Chains A and B, each alone.
Chain A
Amino acid sequence: QQPVQSPQAVILREGEDAVINCSSSKALYSVHWYRQKHGEAPVFLMILLKGGEQKGHDKISASFNEKKQQSSLYLTASQLSYSGTYFCGTRRPGSGNTGKLIFGQGTTLQVKP
């Protein structure tokens, strides 16, 4: 039931691009993306609600393919501050207003100078 993230880890040089995928075996209502620095609280990045919808913030964007039950997070022209562990959290249809999320295992991103 837990969504699967890939890759598990990625190392980049500053300015390079990366894609992090989140796949579910179950139908999804929404996908939430968070970034966590070591020992700190996860920080919200974005929510995707509709199939095929793509959202973005600065050089970080994401897409949600409802039919394929997956979401992808795109980091372009990566900066040192992008380093951390990225989690996707998924909500299934019919989960009502519980707000309950199921999180993937995380993808560790390291950006080097």
Chain B
Amino acid sequence: DGGITQSPKYLFRKEGQNVTLSCEQNLNHDAMYWYRQDPGQGLRLIYYSQIVNDFQKGDIAEGYSVSREKKESFPLTVTSAQKNPTAFYLCASSTRASGRVDEQFFGPGTRLTVL
């Protein structure tokens, strides 16, 4: 079955520590996205990547970093520079065919709590 997997489902970290959230997809999608979700604020875009070895900042990229070394994988690192990292993080992917507008498929999410 094709889909997007995120791990772990729950993650706890101490203040000052970096942590990496995993996102893997086997949908053969070119584009991948990371969103942060806080109560009452909807989904806010952190980073997105349209192709391997290329990525762009979203609206709230400060304190985060990403890499896209493989088409299937788009890990997100939450660094100690992120002031308020406790949130629900969602990864998504979509096709990137010219002239088409396609739906984004979401992973199950990772809930990060900073202690």
Contacts and interface: CB of A to CB of B under 8 A. Distances in A.
Interface string A61-89: 00000000000000000000000000101
Interface of A: 2, 29-30, 32, 34, 39-44, 47, 49, 87, 89, 91, 97-106
Given A97-B50, A99-B31, A91 B43 contact: no
Contacts of B41: 105
Contacts of A32: 103-104
Contacts of B35: 103
User: Which range contains the number of B residues in contact with the other chain?
Assistant: 20 to 34
Contact of A98 (B50, B97, B103, B108): B50
A102 B107 CA distance: 18
Interface string B18-53: 000000000000010101000011111100101000
Contacts, number: 67
A99 to B, nearest CB: 5
Contacts of B31: 98-99
Contacts of A29: 101
Contacts of A43: 106
B104 A99 contact: yes
* Interface-centre pick from A43, A97, A100 (highest chain B CB count, 10 A): A97
